[in-house]
Amino acid sequence: MELLRFATAGSVDDGKSTLIGRLLHDSKSIFEDQLEAVEASSIRRGYDYTNLALLTDGLRAEREQGITIDVAYRYFATPRRKFVIADTPGHIQYTRNMVTGASTADLAVVLVDARNGLLEQPRRHAYIATLLGIPHLVVAVNKMDLVDWDEVVFKDIVAAFDGLASRLHPHEVSYFPISALHGDNVVERSEHMPWYDGPSLLHHLETVELESSHNHADPRFPVQYVIRPMSDEHHDFRGYAGTVAGGVFHPGEEVVVLPSGRRSQIESIDTLEGPMSCAFAPMAVTMRLADDIDISRGDMLTRPGEEPTVTQELDAMLCWFDERPLQLGGKYSVKHTTRTARAMVRELDFKVDMHTLDLVGGAESGGLAMNDIGKVALKTSVPLMVDSYERNRATGSFILVDEGTNATVAAGMIL
């Protein structure tokens, strides 16, 4: 079966965890003892209903406060498709967690409280989802039961989000009026909203057309490890292990090694299951070449004429994670595919004002603080082999690490 990875997003108390609990419950994807534990916990906490949000809020602080702090992953399946859900937090201070949880998603479900309309956090999360290249956006207008199932309320929110989408240009947007608490239009169609003639949310998740998040056009093989057994039986064996980041490779093909530019041919492609006739993203394989070339971790194999950009100058969108703000001229460690280098932040071009989604010039922006997003120019100590993030997520992304604390301070998407 196909696998769909999706993330939930939105403001605090918009019902993200409840929606996931409802999906798990109504699709019969939880065990009886789990449900009994949630029912007992709901009674202890004074709820007069089974609080399905407790299925995903696993941290003690989350259960006590009724909020999501960390990204919670849940798995379930229907006869049509398998699912991995990332339940991301809604608080502004945990925006970095939302970026992490949504970075591998094929679809994002942005919840909007029908009583409050389109607030800042759903706007922020929709922007981030678009920035991350998530192809499908679902806007779930939740808590329709608290506005008497009013069609006008739903249409007003749809119109407001359409205005936002005209600026963000997402690939696809779908809208659903739901009540996660009662299950309306989540797994089954609701009888309370006869004016809505669309499918349930789960039906959409089961049938939405998936596009591969992997680039199968441009051949990219970052070398992770050089295998030299040095035994009597394999004394002349030299293999290059790694995960294919793009394209398709076949034995016998000519390849070029970057950044050196040396050329050779693929002699064999091997896995634990034995020799392979081809390798494509995201397979983990070992390649042997016909020639003995000096290749080390961080180098990349590609085909002549189809090389990525080899550069020490990067323009990128940066999501800042750290409590200490970005330091212009500061030096960080950049990790890109399997290559590590030192990098200096040369310039902050602009920062995104998350209230209005306007671009604020670097000089007037006040710099990048935690959870801010902006465009920067970087200079690296050694060449990196890069594509734009829009073209290849694997070779178009990187992280910045503080060399003093070893903390991941930012995630970057190459423009």
List, for residues 136-145, the tens digit of each pLDDT value. 999 999 999 9
Average pLDDT estimate for 82-93:
76
Determine the number of helices (DSSP H) and then strands (DSSP E) in the chain: 8, 23
Label residue 69 by pLDDT band (50, 70, 90): very low
Average pLDDT estimate for 42-61:
60
Instruction: List phi, psi (to 5°) of 272.
Output: -65, -25
Same topology, domains 3-207 and 221-302? Answer is no
- Strand 254-258 with 263-271, pairing: antiparallel
pLDDT at 9: 86
Q: What percentage of residues in the chain have a pLDDT greater than 90?
A: 53
pLDDT tens-digit map of 381-415: 999 999 999 999 999 999 999 988 999 999 999 99
Is the pLDDT score of 312 beyond 50? Answer: yes
Output the pTM of the full model.
0.82
Average pLDDT estimate for 229-241:
71
* Cα distance between residue 225 and residue 385, in whole Å: 17
Q: What angle do CA 120, 125, 126 make, to 5 degrees?
A: 100
Label residue 54 by pLDDT band (50, 70, 90): low
* Cα distance between residue 242 and residue 247, in whole Å: 14
Is the pLDDT score of 75 beyond 80? Answer: yes
Cβ-contact 410, 336 below 8 angstroms: no
Label residue 232 by pLDDT band (50, 70, 90): low
Exposed, middle or buried by CB within 10 Å (0-12, 13-18, 19+), for 182? middle
What is the secondary structure of 280-300 as a DSSP string? Answer: ETT-EEEEEESS-----TT-E
Residue 233 Rama label (left phi>0; alpha psi -120 to 50; beta): alpha
Is the pLDDT score of 66 beyond 60? Answer: no
* Cα distance between residue 272 and residue 277, in whole Å: 14
Largest Cα–Cα distance of the chain, in whole Å? 78
Instruction: List phi, psi (to 5°) of 175.
Output: -125, 140
Label residue 63 by pLDDT band (50, 70, 90): very low
Rg for the chain (alpha carbons), in Å?
24
Is the pLDDT score of 89 beyond 90? Answer: no
Is the pLDDT score of 101 beyond 90? Answer: no
SS3 content of the chain, % helix, strand, coil (to 5): 20, 35, 45
Label residue 233 by pLDDT band (50, 70, 90): low
pLDDT at 56: 63
pLDDT tens-digit map of 240-284: 999 999 999 999 999 999 999 999 999 999 998 899 999 999 899
Is the pLDDT score of 65 beyond 70? Answer: no
pLDDT tens-digit map of 119-152: 888 888 898 889 888 989 999 999 999 999 999 9
CATH 3.30.420.40 at 3-207, yes or no: no
Torsion of CA 75, 78, 80, 82, to 10 degrees: 10
What are the domain boundaries of the chain?
3-207, 221-302, 309-414
* Cα distance between residue 57 and residue 64, in whole Å: 10
10 vs 82, higher pLDDT: 82
Q: What percentage of residues in the chain have a pLDDT greater than 70?
A: 86
Q: Which CATH class is domain 221-302?
A: mainly beta
Cβ-contact 218, 306 below 8 angstroms: yes
pLDDT tens-digit map of 337-377: 999 999 999 999 999 887 788 888 877 777 888 888 999 99
CATH 2.40.30.10 at 309-414, yes or no: yes
